[in-house]
Amino acid sequence: MTILITNIKELLQVREENVSLIAGKSMKELPTIKDAYLLIENDRIADFGAMENCVIKKFDQTIDARGKIVLPTWCDSHSHIVFAGNREQEFVDRINGLSYEEIANRGGGILNSAKILGRTDEDDLFNQSLKRVHEVMKMGTGILEIKSGYGLTLESELKMLRVIKRIKNTVPIKIKATFLGAHALPLKFKNTKRAYVDHIINDMLPVICKENLADYIDVFCEKGYFSLEDTERLLVAGKQFGLTPKIHVNQFNAFGGVALAVKHGALSVDHLEELIDDDILALTGSKTMPVALPTCSYFLGIPYTPARQIIDAGLPLALATDYNPGSTPSGNMNFVVSTACIKMKMTPEEAINAATINGAYAMGCSNEYGSISIGKKANLIITKDIPSYNYLPYAFGDNHIEKVIINGQLIN
Ligand code: NIG
Ligand code: FE
């Protein structure tokens, strides 16, 4: 099956050479071709270029993209999209003055979601979660990382990871799975945190690996959750089971988690709302991708990750949703890109680089996703008729997407 897209007003993120990430000043550059064509062969990008050079005569289907912009689908490298129920009441409690921390201390927060998930059966959890994945696909997400972490018991963590596996086998987009057993301390282990970490290491990790249920290991490295010492034990154990670290760090406090993650070869460090010079130093020269989650800051009213500081230090930056019921009940990458421009002072070029190629890197997939390059997966967004790509983040909250193509096929 071949599809020729013609008369594309502007084709974004065109990379002739296979780059794996974009860092520092280069993030301000977004290579494009105006008045372009793109040829899809089966599930891959087979050719592209300026319309005037288009000599392709043989194809099965053609899409006229006059007035429209074409770009790679969003690469969302951080989500908790598998969850049960919602936390609307906590949202209202926060409006009425309680903090995220106060709600968590009352047994709300992550433990509240774990309670609901515990009594939700696997099929129900699958159906609730699958619906959300279909929604984010329509909003242009073409690869998605999904974490466990609302189980917090062996049984429920396995339930979550099996649901992630079923989603992976059901949807056309690529899914990466992350084991986040260390997301919060279950009540049962209230005064014996070390025993819970032992439980994760000795009882959960071996089963998860035997069933091949995860690609990455995550820890909520934060005051009141898991310390540097806990985090290190978990990362070391995870690596022994072949799981690469990819961790929650510096959401509320910066105390050395970034350097620890880098030391253990983390693929990404996510959140970074709080950032100290030592973190920048640790990331410099490393292979670890910093990931910002601006719609989490938006929803909780906490500081935004200092993107300018990170990028101006020559580092790369990726953007992701953090879609979860507590801190970010939205999986809309378009809104993430807008918020990054509006609140973090990223240029549209930087934000698009961060939400495509750098997001793909943060899932170990930038060789196949995240740019318009020959041989990469044909995962594309075709916008409506819009004036320029700046309009995508500028006219925030509107849906500018007309079509989404995943693996060379149009989805509804
Ligand atoms: O990334 N910070 C830790 N985990 C999630 C929120 C979890 C929740 O509140 O349910 C996050 O923001
Ligand atoms: Fe998260």
User: Which of 139 and 16 is assigned the larger pLDDT?
Assistant: 139
Q: Where are the domains of the chain?
A: 2-73+372-410, 75-361
| Amino acid letter for position 256 | G
Give the H/E segment covering residue 118: helix 110-118
E strands within 172-249? Answer: 174-182, 216-221, 244-249
Which atom of ligand 1 is nearest to 150's Cα? 10
Average pLDDT, the chain: 97
Which atom of ligand 1 is nearest to 326's Cα? 9
Please provide the CATH number assigned to the domain covering 2-73+372-410: 2.30.40.10
CA of 110 to the centre of ligand 1 (A): 7
Ramachandran area for residue 263 (φ above 0: left; ψ -120 to 50: alpha; else beta): alpha
pLDDT at residue 106 is higher than 90: no
Closest CA to 266 of 231, 293, 235: 235
The predicted structure's pLDDT at residue 102:
92
Tokens coding 363: 């899932």
The predicted structure's pLDDT at residue 399:
97
What's the mean pLDDT in 20-25? Answer: 98
CA of 377 to the centre of ligand 2 (A): 27
In angstroms, what CA-CA distances link 192 with 109, 113, 146, 156, 224?
A: 20, 21, 28, 20, 13
pLDDT one-digit tens code per residue, 243-273: 999 999 999 999 999 999 999 999 999 999 9
For a ligand 1 pocket test, name from 115, 246, 248 the mutation site with the most ligand atoms within 8 angstroms of its C-beta: 248
Closest CA to 233 of 250, 254, 248, 219: 219
Q: What percent of the chain has pLDDT over 90?
A: 97
The predicted structure's pLDDT at residue 18:
77
327/279 Cα distance (integer angstroms): 23
For a ligand 1 pocket test, name from 81, 150, 327 the mutation site with the most ligand atoms within 8 angstroms of its C-beta: 327
Residue nearest to atom 9 of ligand 1 (CA): 326
Which atom of ligand 1 is nearest to 78's Cα? 1
CATH architecture entry for 75-361: Alpha-Beta Barrel (3.20)
Residue nearest to atom 6 of ligand 1 (CA): 327
Biggest alpha carbon–alpha carbon distance for the chain: 70
CA of 347 to the centre of ligand 2 (A): 24
Q: What percent of the chain has pLDDT over 70?
A: 100
Tell me whether the CATH fold assigned to 2-73+372-410 matches the one assigned to 75-361.
no
Give the H/E segment covering residue 270: strand 268-271
The predicted structure's pLDDT at residue 100:
87
User: Taking the model in full, what pTM does it have?
Assistant: 0.98
Residues flanking ligand 1, CB < 6 Å: 109-110, 113, 220, 248, 251, 296, 322, 324-327
Residue nearest to atom 5 of ligand 1 (CA): 327
